Structure 1
Amino acid sequence: MRQPLRSLASRLATLIAVTYSPMSPALAQQGPAAPARILVGFSPGGTLDVVTRALAEYLREPLNRTVTVENKPGAGGRIAIDALRAAPVDGSVAMLCPDFLTSIYPSVFRKLNYTPEKDIRPVSTVAEFPMALAVPGSSPVKTFGEYALWVRAHPDKANFGHAASGGPTHFLGLQIGKNIGSPLEDVPFQGAAPMINNLVGGNVAAGSSTVGDFAQYHNAGKLRVLAVTSAQRSPLLPDVPTFAELGFKDLTAVGTLAICLPPQTSEGTVAQWSAAIRKAVGDEKFASKIRTLGFVSAGSSPGEALAKFNTLRSFWEPIIRSSGFKAD
């Protein structure tokens, strides 16, 4: 019996050595996966880039892999979509998807390089961001009610600045004019920063942008935010009412950021990314980091993310249609 026992012990020792050796498949599976990238269709240093880089940091642990950010700016995010469509479907490439890629662009552009329903697969929301209307700090207007009266009394001077034609802050301003009962002339700028500089300088009568863009200038007295589009008041601007409080419920809309994967990605990979994002955005350190930028962290299932995008599309489509605005 001794020889068979020695043989069995030898085989067991060999099996254990192979199974737990540094190069064995069993141990390799416990190590980190290959690095992943999140594409951002906007320039480095902007708020969307900053939020994505913060997210990437908090995704490392739940995804068990290094996550980096790759900027592909241009065409309002549409260049990045081309890169996502051409990416592998193994979960190594994702993209930050602001809702306007699906909620606004299909109604604005005569030709798009993608079909939202086929080419963008949201796996989880990341954050929401309210928008706001502001006037220069030197303006005699103190409230939204006073602003509405001023617009009706000075229709020839009633303009508003915004970051870009065809974006949510553009159409928000047009919808505000519709609610007031007197149209507002839109003045587009190349980004929020030059628009705010002109608003602070009094070169435009009002401005439409995100709460995060306006907060520091409002708190410094350089401009005055009159109302915000969120359902509740912003923690950055607790003294500013919501449009809903003022009786304008159809001006309640917040922008949404989500992470998307290539359309043919497997259900298992989608579920893995979704769970990891929900864990990351639920971390209070991440939430507090993006809160200073005017964002509210918000994770979701893939189905909930898609439903949010569809709801915002239903909100913006009639507003865009009534404006008659189109872009090439």
Structure 2
Amino acid sequence: MRTAVFPTWARKCALMLVALAAFSASAAEWPEKTVTVVVPFPPGGPSDIVARPITTRLAEVFGKPFIIDNRGGAGGNIGTDLVAKSAPDGHTLLISSSAPIVINPSLYKKLAFDPAKDLAPITMLAKVPLVLAAHPSVPAKDLQELVALIKSKDGNFQYASSGSGTPQHMTGELFKTTAKLDMIHVPYKGSAPAITDLMGGHVPVMFDSLIAILPHIKAGKVKAIAVTSAQRSPQLPDVPTFIEAGYPGFEAYAWYGFFTRAGTPPAVIDRINAETLKIMKTPEFSQRLEEMGSAFVGDTPDNFRAFITSETAKWAKVVKESGATVD
């Protein structure tokens, strides 16, 4: 009796078909249990605000519980590390700000995880411009006058942020290096106490996200000097961008993204991506984006990865040039 011998290419094709069938089955069965969505910051912050409508709708779509696990600490590193070391099966997800993904790898001397290797991007969820705001007593009506004022202080000028390593902090450092300024960073534990001190005149200026600072600008308690987006914000149409004010290429955002463990089957990632983009187009989430000052930014995993790569290089350069560190 003869034994059938298959060419090498046929065997390879058969193995590929088996693998594809396994991936398809895995995606069709996912989720098989409760899905944990880690938010590496305390409840109530922007990452948490973005996460809640997403997880609620995903639970409805897939018929399994999606539970938010707030794991704050170490600038988002603790919760991010938890996902980086989870099983690559799509049952542990991450919704985070940009800091642990593209800033902390350069800012911290040692990290227990490598975002580029340990995490798989799903999609960006929001992209929020920052505002350079000043106390009304600061004698500068525009960015040029503020830069001149800061330079006249010979290093005796402070700027506040919502914490070391945050996009607000690093945007301040980008401002320093771009405009060749000498300023003292005053970090706070969150936006709220920083804004309180700004309104009280205890610090003269700060960068913060549009959603956090806008109510106080409208109330006249602080004044907006410039926004960090490429175009003017619809919420602040009279406030120029840094680019308009003479700093070409100056862009910075507080963005929020959706991730899972690297090695998760691509078919599972694609399912999560597809359903998340549908959720992002609902009136509820669209309103949330508008309130935050973000346009729709849902994208493919590959495009999101390319954006992350460019952001990582950008902030690594800022960290190096500024000498910023938190260790």
Check whether TM > 0.5: yes
Partner of 1:199: 198
Q: Tell whether the 8 Å contact from 2:84 to 2:115 is kept in structure 1 after alignment.
A: no
Between stretches 69-78 and 282-291, larger displacement belongs to 282-291
Partner of 1:36: 35
User: Where does structure 2 lack aligned partners over 5 or more consecutive residues?
Assistant: 1-27
For 1:221, the aligned partner's letter is G
Mark the CA change 1:249 to 1:60 in structure 2 (over 3 Å): closer, same or farther.
farther
Q: Tell whether the 8 Å contact from 1:135 to 1:205 is kept in structure 2 after alignment.
A: yes
How far residue 33 of structure 1 moved from its aligned partner, in angstroms, is 6.0
Partner of 1:119: 118
Partner of 1:76: 75
Mark the CA change 1:195 to 1:30 in structure 2 (over 3 Å): closer, same or farther.
closer
For 1:310, the aligned partner's letter is T
Q: Tell whether the 8 Å contact from 1:56 to 1:69 is kept in structure 2 after alignment.
A: yes
Mark the CA change 1:82 to 1:175 in structure 2 (over 3 Å): closer, same or farther.
closer
Aligned to 2:230, the other structure's residue is in SS state coil
User: Where does structure 1 lack aligned partners over 5 or more consecutive residues?
Assistant: 1-28
How far residue 32 of structure 1 moved from its aligned partner, in angstroms, is 8.8
2-structure distance, mates of 1:232, 1:132:
12
2-structure distance, mates of 1:30, 1:158:
58
2-structure distance, mates of 1:32, 1:186:
45
2-structure distance, mates of 1:156, 1:77:
30
Aligned to 1:247, the other structure's residue is in SS state coil
Identity rate, percent: 29
Partner of 1:175: 174
For 1:270, the aligned partner's letter is I
How far residue 38 of structure 1 moved from its aligned partner, in angstroms, is 1.1
- What does the per-residue CA deviation read over 1:70-117, in whole Å, with 9 as the maximum and x for residues that have no partner? 211111211112321343333222111322223111111110010122
For 1:259, the aligned partner's letter is F
1-structure distance, mates of 2:302, 2:31:
28
- The normalised TM-score by structure 2 is 0.85
Q: How many residues align?
A: 300
Q: Tell whether the 8 Å contact from 2:122 to 2:300 is kept in structure 1 after alignment.
A: yes
Partner of 2:95: 96
Q: Tell whether the 8 Å contact from 1:62 to 1:280 is kept in structure 2 after alignment.
A: no
Partner of 1:166: 165
Aligned-residue RMSD, C-alpha: 2.2
Mark the CA change 1:302 to 1:63 in structure 2 (over 3 Å): closer, same or farther.
farther
For 2:303, the aligned partner's letter is E
2-structure distance, mates of 1:106, 1:175:
17
Q: Tell whether the 8 Å contact from 2:87 to 2:261 is kept in structure 1 after alignment.
A: yes
2-structure distance, mates of 1:52, 1:31:
20
2-structure distance, mates of 1:192, 1:54:
22
Q: Tell whether the 8 Å contact from 1:53 to 1:68 is kept in structure 2 after alignment.
A: no
Aligned to 1:134, the other structure's residue is in SS state strand
Query: 1:150 and 2:149 equivalent?
Result: yes
Aligned to 1:132, the other structure's residue is in SS state strand
1-structure distance, mates of 2:191, 2:97:
16
- What does the per-residue CA deviation read over 1:289-308, in whole Å, with 9 as the maximum and x for residues that have no partner? 23213343311111111111
2-structure distance, mates of 1:242, 1:152:
21
Alignment of 1:207-246 (within 5 A): 207-246=206-245
- The normalised TM-score by structure 1 is 0.85
2-structure distance, mates of 1:214, 1:96:
23
How far residue 266 of structure 1 moved from its aligned partner, in angstroms, is 0.6
Mark the CA change 1:249 to 1:282 in structure 2 (over 3 Å): closer, same or farther.
farther
Partner of 2:298: 299
Between stretches 41-50 and 285-294, larger displacement belongs to 285-294
2-structure distance, mates of 1:90, 1:318:
34
2-structure distance, mates of 1:252, 1:204:
24
2-structure distance, mates of 1:92, 1:156:
50
How far residue 65 of structure 1 moved from its aligned partner, in angstroms, is 3.8
Q: Tell whether the 8 Å contact from 1:174 to 1:183 is kept in structure 2 after alignment.
A: no
